[in-house]
Structure 1
């Protein structure tokens, strides 16, 4: 199993151009955020009926999927898992409130499409294919790479 640093080194190969990196710093979190919103939009009656907590922020498919996503990060780095868990919690709360104002599924699809257009534009500038075309796990490495690059003390 590769270490987080090995994943980052391989991911960084196709993320050298400053414009592409800047685009990724915006679009990768936006895609993550929109996926959380899309998952929250799936009717979750079975989850709510099972848990009976009357807590819509955790009684949804996004929360369940994010628990499994966190297992991936925990295997790589506890510190990174904590950072991603914090970002995930923010995504859950903000998406919940957006869903009180707009149809969450429509908002999330809009953000998702715009962010992916940005991603592919960034890779066009870079002149290299997105990493996830080589290995789908890079879809989870991207958010960690952004967190590491934006908030590390290096």
Structure 2
């Protein structure tokens, strides 16, 4: 498994533009919320409880984040719990899937607008695992804004810039 530093520096290499990062603070939560809503419609009976695919995904993904970086994962737990709660409320409305698809599409439009500012393709186009790193990256960025995890920020930023220079050199060579 790649380290948190490696994952975050790869993601940050195509997320250096502040405008792009701002769009991600809107688009990524929309995509996550809508994906959890879609997965919330897939329900399973387990003993006396209803369990959704969203709940199972939350446990698995949060476990992955905890293996990467416990402090960032704790922030993601605080983000995911309200997402699970609110999507559970919407699952029981008359058209949850239409709501989910609408928000999902809007979230992705916002993401791609951000990448126009960045002048770089989204990280997941080269590595699908980067789809899981988006929320992890945003939590790291939030921590950095709050003055937390300064050592992590100092470690990933130069690596990200080096990776970006390599990407741009490769693109110019083509």
TM-score range, shorter chain: 0.7 to 0.9
Structure 1 residue 61 and structure 2 residue 61: aligned? no
Mean CA deviation greater in 95-104 or 130-139: 95-104
Q: TM-score, normalised by structure 2?
A: 0.77
- 1:149 Cα shift? 1.0
User: How much is the aligned-residue C-alpha RMSD, in angstroms?
Assistant: 1.6
1:144 maps to what in 2? 136
Q: SS at the partner of 1:150? A: helix
Q: Take 2:91 and 2:2, find their aligned partners in 1: how far apart are those partners?
A: 38
Which residue does the alignment assign to 1:6?
6
- Within 2, Cα distance between the matches of 1:41 and 1:5? 35
User: How many residue pairs end up in the alignment?
Assistant: 146
Runs of 4+ in structure 1 deviating by more than 6 angstroms, as ranges, are none
For residue 17 of structure 2, what is the aligned residue in structure 1?
A: 17
TM, length-normalised to structure 1 = 0.86
Q: Partners of 2:55 and 2:28 in 1: how far apart?
A: 19
* More strand by percentage: 2
**Which residues of 2 match residues 34-53 of structure 1 at below 5 A?**
34-42=34-42, 44=43, 47-48=44-45, 50-53=46-49
TM superposition shift of 1:98? 2.6
The residue number in structure 1 matching 2:111 is: 119
State the match for 2:32 in structure 1.
32
Whole-angstrom CA distance in 2 between matches of 1:16 and 1:122: 11
Counterpart in the other structure of 1:89: 81
Structure 1 gap ranges (5+): none
* Deviations, residues 5-36 of structure 1 (Å, cap 9, x unaligned): 22111211111212111101111111111110
- 2:121 is matched with 129
Name the CA distance, whole Å, in 1 between partners of 2:117 and 2:137. 19
- Unpaired segments of 5 or more residues in structure 2? 148-174
